[in-house]
Amino acid sequence: MRPDTPADHITEAERLLRTAAQYPEDHEPLFLQAAAHLELAGERARASTLYDELLGSPDTTIDHPHLVKALKAANLWEYGHEAEARAIIDGIRSAGPLDAAPWEIAAETLEAHDELEAAHDFFSTALTLLLAPGEEVPYATQSLLTGRHRVRRLMGVAHDAWDELADTLHTAAVPLDELHDPKRLWSLGSSDPGELQAEINRLRAELGTYRSALSRPFPVAVLHWPEDELRELLTAYPELAQEYLSHQDHLARLEAALRDLHATGTPNLGIVTGTVPSYEAFAASEAASPSDPDLLPQYATTLAARGRAVPWPPARSAACWCGSGRPYRECHGAG
């Protein structure tokens, strides 16, 4: 059962924190999930403490510091710390992170507090940084286009090329222009059955889009082994050699599998990187043998659920997912 009451959310947050203590390598995504539940429970100060713990720990390096800062800013603004939240948001803009999530959270925070010009500027700056002309829009970046479209409708400005791209990527039955129409709320006070039915249809379409996103809260992920880890894995568990002919073959098959999934229309694809100690711990938790090849996709799914997936495809100018250090367009994206 999903948490519903504040007490349920606190219970779930505490469960996640216990899990984080058990799996310290996954403490960052588990802390973020726990903080989200604390916010929903109204325990915003306690949620801020978790964000501070992630950002201030001298013993660990977090993978997504700008995301943590954006979430902290959004939370702070909600319980009266506007000046600090603004300072954090300004810092995110100056840092220019190369992933969409912190930009989106910061922009939506500004939008939620009627800072439409600033929100529009944040969305636009992020898209300029993350989206190359003519490049296929990554899954994570599509929400920036949608958010910018929504803000521009609220501002009453005319469509531009990015708005048209957002319209093209939108797959729900009701167009974005209708979903983002600032006059929609007026129809809720109408006594015209036709207007009310139209609003019901729009809300159903919007709900369907949200449900579709929630049905896949983490990416469809494939499992990547760095060369040293794969060597160690096969030395310890030679039974898995039939799954991995060579490291180069492993990398080529990953890219091919992702492209096949993408070609079938599967959204939200990602790559998780395995380590032998983590895999052995997972096998022990499942009371299974690490030499069982059926355990590998379960391990990948578990890593993705813990927030360990890196979205695929990366921007063509970004570093390749394989760890070669070369741009994706010159490495596995060259095909």
| CATH code (residue 83) | 1.25.40.10
Number of neighbouring beta carbons within 10 Å of residue 320: 21
Element (H, E) at 270: strand 269-273
DSSP bridge pairs for 327 = 319
116-144 burial, b at 16+ Cβ within 10 Å, e below that, comes to bebbbbbbbebbeebbeeeeebbbbbbbb
Over residues 182-236, the pLDDT tens digits come to 776 555 556 667 766 766 676 666 665 555 444 445 678 899 999 999 999 999 9
For residue 166, tell me if it sits in a domain. yes
Question: What is the bridge-based pairing of β-strands 269-273 and 310-312?
Answer: antiparallel
pLDDT of 98: 86
Q: Are residues 173 and 191 in the same domain?
A: no
Element (H, E) at 22: helix 6-22
Element (H, E) at 271: strand 269-273
pLDDT of 1: 46
Task: Check: CB of residue 8 under 8 Å from CB of residue 44.
Answer: no
For residue 140, tell me if it sits in a domain. yes
Q: What single-letter DSSP state applies at residue 16?
A: H
Q: How far apart are CA 101 and CA 219, in angstroms?
A: 14
Specify the residue for token string 């019901």.
Answer: 200
Task: Check: CB of residue 151 under 8 Å from CB of residue 112.
Answer: no
Q: What is the DSSP string of 154-182?
A: HHTPPP-HHHHHHHHH--SSS-HHHHT-T
Specify the residue for token string 């997504």.
Answer: 64
Amino acid at 139: Y
Number of neighbouring beta carbons within 10 Å of residue 73: 27
Q: Are residues 138 and 22 in the same domain?
A: yes
Look up the domain containing 242 and give its range: 220-330
Q: What single-letter DSSP state applies at residue 309?
A: P
pLDDT of 214: 43
Question: What is the bridge-based pairing of β-strands 220-224 and 310-312?
Answer: unpaired
Q: What single-letter DSSP state applies at residue 327?
A: B
Q: Are residues 165 and 295 in the same domain?
A: no
| Number of domains the chain contains | 3
For residue 212, tell me if it sits in a domain. yes
The pTM (predicted TM-score) of the whole model is: 0.71
Q: Are residues 100 and 119 in the same domain?
A: yes
pLDDT in tens, the chain (335 residues): 466 789 999 999 999 999 888 888 888 888 999 999 999 999 999 999 999 999 987 766 888 899 999 999 999 999 999 999 999 999 999 999 988 999 999 999 999 999 999 999 999 999 999 888 777 888 888 899 999 999 999 999 999 999 999 999 887 777 888 878 877 655 555 666 776 676 667 666 666 555 544 444 567 889 999 999 999 999 999 999 999 999 999 999 999 999 999 888 887 888 999 999 989 988 998 899 999 999 999 999 888 877 788 888 887 667 888 988 888 888 998 76
pLDDT of 325: 86
Q: How far apart are CA 44 and CA 218, in angstroms?
A: 25
Q: Are residues 209 and 321 in the same domain?
A: no
Structure tokens at 84: 């600090």
Q: How far apart are CA 335 and CA 331, in angstroms?
A: 8
For residue 335, tell me if it sits in a domain. no
pLDDT of 252: 93
Which of 123, 150, 178 marks a domain boundary? 178
pLDDT of 191: 64
Mean pLDDT estimate for the chain? 87
For residue 262, tell me if it sits in a domain. yes
Task: Check: CB of residue 322 under 8 Å from CB of residue 251.
Answer: yes
